Structure 1
């Protein structure tokens, strides 16, 4: 089997809430996502999706996905999409870095492998390790009282894990955490995610002020070194996200005891092939993970579900159902939230069928 063509589609994903806000005044109202179709001479087409969280979150942006694909796609034409390690080496040799550009091609090839073998992707990633994937809900950064009220509203939708978007000034963030913590019920989990938004002195103030609260502290500062200083100042459980970009970052964090949990974003690390490696290393090292991505629609959500479904429950801290945040469906067969959980499809591959009317005409054909 050989890859014969790469196509890319641009889709807008408006938000139900109208705006998603996080640290340092950043926000997005309509996400710009890229869907990639990998076509083969066997008549099988696989699909992947990459949707950066704006342009000021990670070293990734929506136009960069599509311009990078123009550069990268010719190097994978005529390769066997089922030979995933060979494919990834070829992509890394033809384009240094930029893992997010490679992610959608990698995911689409996992979709092809599943279709070719008649197996769901979760089976190829190690088998069904849990039945119901627990989801978290991100609480967009607004006024503290309104954020606490949103916790109650999302609990009514079945969520029990809540990620507060903090990373503003220390005083308002302390209020956000305390008010939202007061809304927690037995079994609920609260995470305060600063998304790199605090300086070290602000992080020190916050973790000291909420030391009596049952809350996880996530990615307080921009750099690994600053986060490690904050980690050593608090006994609260600690999550790293933005600074874990690959196996090297992960092994460094493990050696330093820098975190209790990581957020494993599939496109940030380059796709399912590399995410699986990091997942397995975390399992062997006793580190739970939130399985997620930067953002996306139905195809991203399906990809998350397959990796999470194949992750042992005790190491699956939570996952994300991004398709429930938006107003546009781009594929049939994607997981849907049921009482705060989701499941991956049992159909071959990712188990999704793109809605071509929603994708429109391709913006790139190679």
Structure 2
């Protein structure tokens, strides 16, 4: 089998709540998604998606993903998509860095491989642990009262874990954390995600101000070194995200005792092939994982569900149902997500079928 064509689509994903806001004054009403299809000489097709949180979150952006696919297209054409690890090595040799560019291509290979083997991607990634995966709900940045109200709303919908978007200033962030925690019971999990928004001394002030609150602290500062310094001044469980970019970063963090949880985003590390390697390492080391991506619709959420469901339960902190944050549906067959849990499809591949009427005409075709 070989890839004979690549169809690239772009779709804007409007936020159902109006805007999505986080540290650094970042506020978006919609996100740019690239969805692509790999066609083969045997008539089987695979789908993948990459969507970035704008251009100020990571060194990545929507149009860059499509430019990168153009750069890599001739390396993908003619390749065997049922050997995603082999293709991943070829793509890394062809284009240094830019993992987000390779992610949708890699996910499409896994979707296609599952269809060829008549198996869900979760089975290919190691098997299905349990019947469902616990979800967290990200709470867009706002006033303490607004964020507490959002937490209460999603708590009543069944979510058991919440990622609070903070990272503005120490006083307001501490108020947000306290207000949100007041809406929750002891069984609920609260993660204060600073998204690199504070300096080291500001972050120390926040963790000191909420020393009596049951909360996780996620990526308070931009650099690994600053986060590690804050970690050493608090007894709160610590999550690292933006600086966890690969196996080497995880090993360094583990050796330095710099975190208790890592945020594993599929596109941040280059797709399911690289994410699986990091996932297996973390599981072996006893480091729990938030399994998610940098955004996306039904295709990306399906990939998240399969990776999360094939992760041992004691290594799985939570996962994300990003398709439920959007005001548009790009595919049928999204992972069932209700009551704060999600389950990967049992259909072959990712189990989703994109809606071509929503995607429109391809913005690029490579053959």
Does 1:82 find its partner at 2:82? yes
CA contact (8 A) 2:122 2:128 kept: yes
1:42 maps to 42
User: Could you tell me how far apart the structure 2 residues matched to 1:234 and 1:73 are?
Assistant: 47
2:298 maps to 298
SS in 2 for 1:249: helix
Q: Which runs of 5+ in 1 are unaligned?
A: none
Shift of 1:156: 1.5
Shift of 1:84: 1.5
1:312 maps to 312
CA contact (8 A) 1:119 1:347 kept: yes
TM-score, normalized by length of structure 2?
Answer: 0.99
User: Could you tell me how far apart the structure 1 residues matched to 2:159 and 2:312 are?
Assistant: 20
SS in 1 for 2:211: coil
CA contact (8 A) 2:120 2:348 kept: yes
Q: Which moved more, 1:126-135 or 1:262-271?
A: 126-135
Does 1:260 find its partner at 2:260? yes
Shift of 1:130: 2.1
Aligned pairs for 1:91-240 within 5 A? 91-240=91-240
1:118-140 deviations in whole A, cap 9, x for unaligned? 00000000001121110000000
CA contact (8 A) 2:266 2:292 kept: yes
Cα RMSD for the two superposed structures: 0.6
TM-score, normalized by length of structure 1?
Answer: 0.99
SS in 2 for 1:183: coil
1:29-79 deviations in whole A, cap 9, x for unaligned? 111100010111010000000000100000110010011111111111101
User: Could you tell me how far apart the structure 2 residues matched to 1:244 and 1:27 are?
Assistant: 24
CA contact (8 A) 2:39 2:46 kept: yes
SS in 2 for 1:39: strand
Shift of 1:7: 1.2
SS in 1 for 2:63: helix
Moved beyond 3 Å, runs of 4+: none
User: Could you tell me how far apart the structure 2 residues matched to 1:48 and 1:28 are?
Assistant: 23
SS in 2 for 1:36: strand
2:354 maps to 354
Q: Which moved more, 1:267-276 or 1:85-94?
A: 85-94
Shift of 1:184: 1.1
CA contact (8 A) 1:264 1:275 kept: yes
1:170-197 deviations in whole A, cap 9, x for unaligned? 1100100111111111310000000000
Shift of 1:89: 1.0
Aligned pairs for 1:274-353 within 5 A? 274-353=274-353
SS in 2 for 1:335: coil
Does 1:245 find its partner at 2:219? no
Count of aligned pairs between the two proteins: 366
Shift of 1:9: 0.1
Q: Which moved more, 1:49-58 or 1:329-338?
A: 329-338
User: Could you tell me how far apart the structure 1 residues matched to 2:246 and 2:358 are?
Assistant: 33
CA contact (8 A) 1:245 1:268 kept: yes
1:206-241 deviations in whole A, cap 9, x for unaligned? 011111110000000000000000000100000000
Q: Which moved more, 1:68-77 or 1:268-277?
A: 68-77
SS in 2 for 1:33: strand
